[in-house]
């Protein structure tokens, strides 16, 4: 059976640099009727587990370690036995939320994580956070971008651990090279496509960021 993508929105808070904001996060479940991967276990482990049903969860993949994307990851891992995956460069951010529990495995650029017919290739896309990653499945013609790319432009870079020129370089080198019809499923808000975002992004790049 071919993989499918399911979407769950959870609500909670994002905290960094002394500020706290109410947020809604996209949680993505990718797989088939038997096994699945969760991308960004945000806020509500119970709601995610309910959406999974009796499927086997093979991996909890974190696009980056801001607290609103990882706060429910340990609880979901304990409940399901699935390992938590994170890029090592985001370990300092992870420890701000989970000081006593490290991730179970490290995401590495180019690695593919498979489950239920899905094959998610890790693209290291620093800028929003040092260890930010996107996950590209050519078979699904989809890239999961976390907070690296949204409908309307790049993710925020105004807080600690972030850098605007770096996120633009990541988008140029890792995302704009994907087919224009590739669907972009984000960490917050609505979906878009690479082709829809390319003109404005290319204009920024031409202006030297």
Q: Which pLDDT score is estimated for 209?
A: 59
| End-to-end CA gap in the chain | 43
- Contact (Cβ atoms closer than 8 angstroms) between residue 68 and residue 20: no
Which residue shows structure tokens 């769950």? 8
Cα 204 to the chain's mean position, in Å? 23
Taking the whole predicted model, whether its pTM rises above 0.85 is answered as yes
What tokens were used for 7?
Answer: 């979407």
Least confident of 101-115, 175-189, 190-204: 190-204
What distances in angstroms separate CA 105 from CA 79, 84, 199, one per listed residue?
17, 6, 36
- Contact (Cβ atoms closer than 8 angstroms) between residue 127 and residue 157: yes
Q: Which pLDDT score is estimated for 206?
A: 83
pLDDT band for position 207 (50/70/90)? Answer: confident
Q: Which pLDDT score is estimated for 1?
A: 61
Q: Where are the alpha helices (DSSP H) in the chain?
A: 45-52, 67-70, 73-80, 91-97, 164-170, 194-206
Q: Which pLDDT score is estimated for 208?
A: 67
- Contact (Cβ atoms closer than 8 angstroms) between residue 143 and residue 125: no
pLDDT band for position 92 (50/70/90)? Answer: very high
pLDDT tens, residue by residue, 111-139: 999 999 999 999 999 999 999 999 999 99
Which residue shows structure tokens 């704009």? 176
């Amino acid at each position: 059976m071919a993989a499918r993508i399911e979407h769950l929105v959870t609500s909670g808070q994002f905290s960094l640099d002394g500020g706290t904001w109410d947020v809604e996060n996209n949680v993505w479940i990718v797989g088939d009727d038997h096994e699945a991967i969760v991308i960004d276990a945000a806020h509500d482990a119970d709601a995610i587990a309910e959406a999974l049903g009796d499927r086997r969860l093979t991996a909890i993949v974190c696009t980056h370690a801001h607290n609103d994307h990882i706060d429910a990851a340990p609880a979901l891992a304990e409940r399901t036995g699935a390992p938590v995956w994170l890029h090592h460069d985001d370990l300092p951010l992870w420890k701000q939320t989970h000081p006593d529990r490290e991730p179970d495995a490290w995401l590495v650029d180019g690695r593919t994580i498979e489950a239920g017919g899905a094959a998610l290739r890790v693209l290291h896309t620093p800028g929003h956070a040092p260890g930010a990653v996107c996950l590209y499945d050519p078979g699904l013609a989809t890239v999961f971008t976390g907070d690296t790319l949204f409908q309307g432009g790049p993710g925020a870079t105004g807080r600690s651990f972030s850098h605007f020129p770096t996120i633009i370089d990541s988008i140029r080198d890792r995302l704009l090279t994907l087919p224009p019809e590739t669907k972009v499923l984000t960490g917050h808000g609505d979906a878009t496509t690479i082709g829809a975002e390319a003109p404005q992004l290319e204009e920024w790049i031409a202006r030297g960021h």
